[in-house]
Each structure stands twice: as C-alpha cells, then as structure tokens.
C-alpha cells in the first residue's frame, strides 16, 4: 500500500490499485503536514475578510449611507456565500473520504458533480436576486432611508452577477483543499485582494463610480478567481483530483446524493443561521443609521477573529474526512483534539489584541460619535464571549460533518439560533430596553449552548456510526 501523503498520490491510470483498495492505511498528518495545510487556510480566510474590509473603508469616503447600504447587502451576501460553502463542504467530505481510501477515480467523479450542482444552484440564485433585489431588501430590512436603499440596490446588482463565479471558485478551492493543497486557493485570494484594492481605487476614486465601483471590482475579481482555479483543475491530469472531461456533462445521481447528504444539512444549518442574523439586523435598523454602521464595522472587525477559526475548521474537515475514509478513528480523535487546542490559542491571541486596540481599529472607519460608541460596546462583549465559546461551536462540528453527522449539527444550530439568539435578542433589545447591544449578548449565549451540545455529541462517539461512502 502506498505510504505517501494523500496529496502526492497520482492516479496514473483509471484501473490503478488506488481505485480498488482492499485494506486501509492510517493517514499520517504529522506536524509538518498540518502546518503546511493550515497556514495557507488561515491566511486565505483573513484575506477573504480583507476584501470586505477594503470595500468598507474605501467606500466610506463616499458617505456613511454608502457603507450602510453595502453592509446590508453583505449580510444577505454572506448567506449566499455560506450556502455555496455548504455544498462545497459536501463535496469536500466525499472527496476526502475517497482519498482516505486511495480511490482517486471516485474523488474525481465527486469533483465534477460538485461543479455541476454548484453552477446550477448559483445561476438560479442569480436570476432570483436580479429580478427581486429591491423586494428582498425591503422585506428583510423594512423601512430604511432612500439613500441607503439606493446604495444597497446598486451594490446588490453586481454582487448577484458574481454568484456563479463565486460558486465555481468555492467548489474548485474545496477540491484543492481536499488534496491537502491549500496554497493554490491562498495565492488566488492574494491576487484577488491586490486586484480588489486596485479596482476600488480605479472605480471608486478615479472614475467616481462610488458604490457601483466597489461592486464592479468585486465582480471582476470573482470572475478571474473562478476561471483560474477551474483552469488549473482541468489542465493537470496528474492531480489525484482533476476536472478532466468535465465538458462532457453527465449528472450522476448516486454521487450527487452523497454530496447533498452532507451539503443540504450543512446548507440548511448555515442558511437558517444567516437568516436569523439577517432578522436580527432589523434591531439595528430600528435604532437608526448609526447602529447599522456600528454593527457593519463591528461585524467586519470580528470577522478577522473568526477567519483563522474558519481556516482551522476547513482543515479539520479535510483531516478528519481522510482519516475516516481510511477507517482510522483513533487518528480522528487525536487530530481533532490537537486542532481544537490550536484554534483556541489562536482565537485568544487575536481577540486579546482586538480588545486592547479596539479604539485604534475603529478609528480607521469614518464613524460619527454615536456609531463609534456603539461599536466599542459591541466589541467588548464579542471579544469575551467568542473567545470562550466560538471554537467549540464552529470548529468542533466539522469533525461531526466529516463523519456524516451533518443532520445533528443542523438541528442543534437551528434550535440554538432561533430559540436563543433571535428570541433573546429581540426580548432584551425591546422588552428589557437594552438596545442593539442585546444582539451581541444573545450571540454569546448562542455560542455557549452550541458548544455544549457539540461537545457532548463528540464525547458520545455516536458520530462514528455514520456513513458517507
């Protein structure tokens, strides 16, 4: 049996023994391989956030209304992004488990089917958004000022057009990560950031396009990123996962079912989570533009802390998936514990710095005095609660998903989101009169209860009974 790392195994011919293994080999994720996997993932996630931060900072020169409009669209956009990520998660789990079994042929099949369904879903979302964007904005955010609505409507147009390219990029990046190659997606995001800064400078400042300039820059960047990654997977037939033959479209029901068995619960989980967050945004709109802008800045800053954790979660999904595919559950437990410790230490370091330097960080954004004070309060609460509870809420469940226990994760996430975060936020904000800070207090409570349920499930070992392939 081949002892080389998964990412180095090349499927020379379809009938290779790699496609029909009789025994499993333990997957060796030593410290060097883990480091090679994780540091590009963390950098990539931070750079993804930087795109939003750059847009917010650069468009803030146009006016607070423009920043508020973009923040409302980004709230909806994050729902779409997490939906694409959920489908990609399904593809990644299936591909990783096949790689754990040294089955390169089926790993490639899963990659092609992931691309097909991602494109179909994204095109449907694009057309719905293009024809109903104003209705969506009004129904979600209610009565917002005309200038904020105008900015949101313009930005939403270009973001909707980018959905198919974003979905293709997400699917392709997931396949690179499944192979243990996280550097290619990272380098792509670096190029995307460079283009985004230059594009914003050109379209917002030089051509005076304002909010439209930020949207155009994001659209073009996503087109370039998608084309680049799809091209790399199509041209290199020696990769253990490639997209050779993808132009001969063939939908395979069995493989799509495996992907969606993970992707649909993950998608419902993240979608309900984001819908809940969007509804909570109505609390900020009820307290005016200052509260909206403060939350936009606070959420952007907090996302810096989230992204390394997201990187650890993505890596854990791959590591656990390959170990489960190889039938090595002792390795799953060992690597999960190690990655959880690393994610907690990283989160602690980042949040301590955000807490200490919050005034300097907030001053980067052009907020008025009222919005500034709101934002300081938001960050104080969030740094404390998320440091204690976020990793067990959002990193640990990736092992459960990798094992095929995505339905349990979905049920817990939906219950805590709606029963704790949403209901508690509205009660504290209006009934108890705490105002917009109630959203961040309820968020911390949500993190706490999610972590309790996911930790209990992990310790019970019930996830070991689940099957994906």
pLDDT tens digit sequence for 105-120: 899 999 999 999 999 9
Distance, in Å, from the CA atom of 98 to the CA atom of 73, rounded to the nearest integer, reads 38
294 in Cβ contact with 375 (< 8 Å): yes
CA distances 354 to 47, 311, 339, 347, 469, Å, are: 17, 19, 22, 11, 43
- Find the mean pLDDT for residues 306-329: 89
Give the DSSP per-residue string, 406-432.
HHHHHHHHHHHIIIIIIHHHHIIIIIS
Longest dimension (CA), the chain: 68
* Structure token digits, residue 240: 């253990």
Distance, in Å, from the CA atom of 436 to the CA atom of 272, rounded to the nearest integer, reads 21
Q: Highest mean pLDDT: which of 193-207, 239-253, 437-451?
A: 437-451
Burial class of residue 224 (count of CB atoms within 10 Å of its CB; 0-12, 13-18, 19+): middle
- Find the mean pLDDT for residues 140-164: 86
Residues 232-261: pLDDT tens digits? Answer: 999 877 788 889 888 888 888 889 999 998
The answer, yes or no, to whether residue 63 has pLDDT greater than 80, is: no
Distance, in Å, from the CA atom of 49 to the CA atom of 307, rounded to the nearest integer, reads 7
Quick one: pLDDT at residue 403? 92
Quick one: pLDDT at residue 27? 58
Helix, strand or coil for residue 442?
helix
The answer, yes or no, to whether residue 14 has pLDDT greater than 80, is: no
% of the chain at pLDDT higher than 90: 44
* Structure token digits, residue 387: 């440091």
Distance, in Å, from the CA atom of 99 to the CA atom of 328, rounded to the nearest integer, reads 13
Quick one: pLDDT at residue 230? 94
Contacts of 208 (CB under 8 A, 6+ apart): none
Quick one: pLDDT at residue 10? 41
- Does residue 199 or residue 51 have the better pLDDT? 199
- Does residue 381 or residue 64 have the better pLDDT? 381
Distance, in Å, from the CA atom of 108 to the CA atom of 103, rounded to the nearest integer, reads 9
430 in Cβ contact with 348 (< 8 Å): no
Lowest mean pLDDT, pick from 4-18, 208-222, 338-352: 4-18
- Does residue 205 or residue 23 have the better pLDDT? 205
* Structure token digits, residue 181: 């190659």
- Find the mean pLDDT for residues 435-453: 93
Could you tell me how far CA 387 lies from the centroid of its own chain?
Answer: 19
Contacts of 426 (CB under 8 A, 6+ apart): 280, 283, 438
Give the DSSP per-residue string, 340-372.
HHHHHHHHHHHHHHHHHTHHHHHTTS---HHHH
Burial class of residue 359 (count of CB atoms within 10 Å of its CB; 0-12, 13-18, 19+): exposed
CA distances 248 to 92, 113, 372, Å, are: 22, 12, 55
CA distances 420 to 281, 351, 428, 439, 441, Å, are: 15, 24, 11, 11, 10
458 in Cβ contact with 399 (< 8 Å): yes
Quick one: pLDDT at residue 24? 39
The answer, yes or no, to whether residue 168 has pLDDT greater than 70, is: yes
Distance, in Å, from the CA atom of 102 to the CA atom of 308, rounded to the nearest integer, reads 29
- Find the mean pLDDT for residues 368-381: 91
Quick one: pLDDT at residue 26? 47
* Structure token digits, residue 259: 């992907």
pTM of the predicted structure, to 2 decimals: 0.79
The answer, yes or no, to whether residue 6 has pLDDT greater than 70, is: no
- Does residue 381 or residue 364 have the better pLDDT? 381
Distance, in Å, from the CA atom of 391 to the CA atom of 45, rounded to the nearest integer, reads 15
Residues 87-98: pLDDT tens digits? Answer: 999 999 999 999
The answer, yes or no, to whether residue 278 has pLDDT greater than 70, is: yes
What end-to-end distance do the CA atoms of the chain give, in Å?
20
The answer, yes or no, to whether residue 381 has pLDDT greater than 70, is: yes
Quick one: pLDDT at residue 303? 78
Quick one: pLDDT at residue 239? 83
Residues 288-302: pLDDT tens digits? Answer: 888 888 888 888 788
- Find the mean pLDDT for residues 427-431: 91
Average pLDDT, the chain: 85
């Amino acid at each position: 049996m081949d002892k080389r790392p998964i990412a180095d195994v090349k499927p020379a011919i379809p009938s290779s023994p790699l496609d029909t293994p009789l025994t499993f080999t333990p997957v060796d994720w030593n410290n060097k391989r883990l480091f090679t996997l994780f540091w590009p993932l963390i950098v990539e996630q931070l750079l993804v956030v930087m795109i939003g931060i750059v847009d917010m900072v650069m468009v803030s020169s146009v006016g607070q209304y423009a920043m508020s409009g973009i923040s409302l669209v980004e709230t909806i956009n994050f729902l779409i992004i997490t939906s694409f990520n959920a489908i990609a998660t399904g593809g990644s789990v299936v591909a990783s488990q096949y790689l754990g079994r040294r089955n390169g042929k089926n790993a490639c099949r899963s990659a092609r089917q992931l691309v097909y369904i991602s494109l179909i879903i994204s095109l449907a979302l694009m057309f719905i958004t293009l024809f109903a964007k104003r209705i969506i904005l009004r129904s979600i955010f209610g009565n917002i000022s005309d200038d904020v609505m105008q900015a949101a409507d313009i930005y939403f147009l270009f973001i909707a057009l980018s959905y198919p390219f974003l979905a293709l990029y997400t699917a392709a990046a997931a396949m690179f990560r499944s192979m243990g190659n996280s550097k290619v997606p990272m380098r792509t995001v670096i190029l995307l950031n460079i283009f985004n800064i230059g594009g914003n400078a050109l379209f917002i400042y030089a051509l005076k396009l304002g909010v439209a300039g930020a949207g155009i820059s994001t659209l073009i960047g996503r087109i370039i990123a998608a084309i680049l990654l799809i091209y790399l997977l199509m041209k290199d037939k020696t990769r253990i996962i490639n997209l050779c033959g993808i132009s001969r479209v063939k939908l395979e029901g069995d493989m799509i079912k495996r992907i969606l068995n993970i992707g649909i619960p993950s998608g419902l989980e993240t979608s309900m989570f984001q819908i809940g967050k969007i509804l909570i945004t109505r609390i900020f709109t009820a307290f005016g533009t200052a509260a909206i802008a403060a939350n936009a800045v606070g959420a952007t800053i907090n996302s810096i802390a989230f992204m390394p954790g997201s990187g650890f979660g993505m890596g854990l999904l791959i590591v656990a998936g390959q170990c489960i595919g190889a039938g090595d559950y002792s390795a799953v437990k060992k690597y999960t514990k190690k990655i959880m410790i690393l994610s907690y230490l990283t989160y602690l370091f980042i949040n301590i710095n955000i807490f200490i330097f919050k005034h300097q960080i907030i001053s980067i954004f052009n907020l008025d005095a009222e919005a500034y004070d709101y934002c300081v309060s938001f960050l104080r609460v969030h740094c404390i609660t998320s440091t204690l509870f976020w990793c067990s809420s959002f990193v640990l469940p990736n092992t459960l998903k990798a094992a095929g226990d995505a339905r349990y994760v979905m049920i817990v996430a939906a219950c805590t989101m709606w029963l704790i975060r949403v209901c508690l936020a509205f009660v504290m904000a209006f009934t108890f009169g705490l105002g917009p800070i109630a959203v961040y207090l309820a968020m911390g409570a949500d993190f706490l209860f999610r972590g309790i349920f996911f930790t209990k499930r992990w310790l019970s070992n019930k996830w070991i009974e689940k099957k994906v392939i």
